[in-house]
Amino acid sequence: MIIRRFLDDDGELAQHLARQLNTPLDWPEVEGLNTGHVAKIASAAACDVSYNHAANGHLADLFAVLPLPGTPDGEKFWCAMEEAGGEAALYIDPGNMGGPFFDRLVKGNEAGIADRVLSFLAALDDQQRDAVIKVIGDALAQDTLVAGGRYLGQLWLRDAETTAWHVLLARRRLHETKDDRKRFFEAWGNA
């Protein structure tokens, strides 16, 4: 991750540790691991990992609100998706990306479903996208009185696209090094 949270003595995390856990940053005052070190580890882990896991979980949640494959409603829905999206719909068809892809998601293959979602959306032309929006929106509108189906379909597609992009971007960041961050700040500082 390019931007890292830093732990300073008067920062929010330091104040939380002192107030909620009653532990000063230099406790214990001997050599070795102290509260400040643990806080820095926790902060780095939260920035680098949890965002990616949260985005993946959200992507799975988006699919969870759609009719389930193998059910009568699911069969109708996924047939309608294939009709609306044409060959592009094969990227997210349950028979092509079903259980194994979601199983891998749980085991840490974060990019698999995100790649498929973005490939699906990229392969849709404008007419297909409109038709897919209608199919998704109609399925979502059955469970809500808040908004019309078309609008809900637009929200689902927009959310899936953005979330998939976040997953791929976070996955790319995992490979960045301290030198990459240094080059980034130098380049922007010299611009």
More confident residue, 102 or 69: 69
pLDDT recorded at residue 3: 38
Neighbours of 152 (CB within 10 A): 21
Type of residue at 169: L
Q: How far apart are CA 97 and CA 107, in angstroms?
A: 15
Share of the chain above pLDDT 90, in %: 33
Q: Domain map of the chain by residue range?
A: 48-189
pLDDT at 7 over 60: no
**If pLDDT is split at 50, 70 and 90, which confidence band does 4 have?**
very low
Helix, strand, or coil (residue 167): helix
pLDDT at position 81, please?
96
d(Cα 37, Cα 43) in Å, to the nearest integer?
10
Burial bucket for residue 175 (CB in 10 Å: 0-12, 13-18, 19+): exposed
pTM: 0.68
Query: Which H or E run includes 99?
Result: helix 99-106
Q: pLDDT of 111-169, one tens digit each?
A: 778 888 999 999 999 999 999 999 999 999 876 666 778 899 999 999 999 999 988 88
Q: What is the pLDDT of residue 131?
A: 97
Digit-coded pLDDT (tens) for 12-34: 666 666 666 666 666 666 666 66
What average pLDDT is seen over the chain? 78
CA distance 56 to 63: 11
Would the pLDDT of 43 be above 90?
no
